[in-house]
Structure 1
Amino acid sequence: LVDRFCVDVSELLGVFVACVLSVVNSQGRKKRPTRMAQPKGLSQSKEALLKSYTKRLKDDMKSMIDNFTEIIKSTRVPLEEEGQVLRPLQVTQDQYEMHVRAANIVRAGESLMKLISDIKQYLILNDFPFVNDSIAQNSQRYCSVQMDCDQRLMSLRDDMAAELYDLEEEYYSSCYK
Structure 2
Amino acid sequence: MNSARNLPQSKEALLKSYNSRLKDDVKSMLENFEEIVKLCKVEHDIQISRMTQCELDAYEMQVRSANMVRAAESLLKLVSDIKQYLILNDFPSVNDAITTNSKLFRTKQQECDQKLQTLRDDMVADLYDLEEEYYTSNYKS
Distance 1:168 1:69, change over 3 A: farther
2:19 pairs with 1:54: yes
Please tell me the root mean square deviation across aligned C-alpha atoms, in Å. 2.3
Counterpart code for 1:101: R
> Matched residue of 2:60: which SS?
helix
2:42 pairs with 1:78: yes
State the shift of 1:141 in Å. 1.6
- TM-score normalised by the chain length of structure 1: 0.63
Distance 1:69 1:172, change over 3 A: farther
Q: Distance in 1 between matches of 2:117 and 2:49?
A: 92
Q: Any gaps of 5 or more consecutive residues in structure 1?
A: 1-44
The aligned length equals: 131
2:73 pairs with 1:87: no
- For the pair shown, the structure with the greater C-alpha radius of gyration is 2
Counterpart code for 1:150: D
Q: Distance in 2 between matches of 1:156 and 1:71?
A: 77
Q: Distance in 2 between matches of 1:87 and 1:73?
A: 17
Q: Distance in 2 between matches of 1:147 and 1:84?
A: 87
State the shift of 1:82 in Å. 4.8
2:97 pairs with 1:97: no
Q: 2:28 aligns with which of 63, 75, 84?
A: 63
86-95 or 166-175, which deviates more: 166-175
2:102 pairs with 1:139: yes
State the shift of 1:62 in Å. 2.7
Q: Distance in 1 between matches of 2:108 and 2:37?
A: 60
> Matched residue of 1:78: which SS?
coil
1:9-48 maps to which residues of 2 (within 5 A)?
45-48=10-13
63-72 or 110-119, which deviates more: 63-72
State the shift of 1:92 in Å. 1.0
Percent sequence identity over matched residues? 63
139-148 or 47-56, which deviates more: 47-56
Q: Distance in 1 between matches of 2:97 and 2:137?
A: 59
Structure 1 stretches of 4+ with a deviation exceeding 4 A read: none
Q: Any gaps of 5 or more consecutive residues in structure 2?
A: 1-9
Q: Distance in 2 between matches of 1:148 and 1:53?
A: 48
Deviations 1:97-148 (A, max 9, x none): 1221122112112211221232123223332222222222222121111111
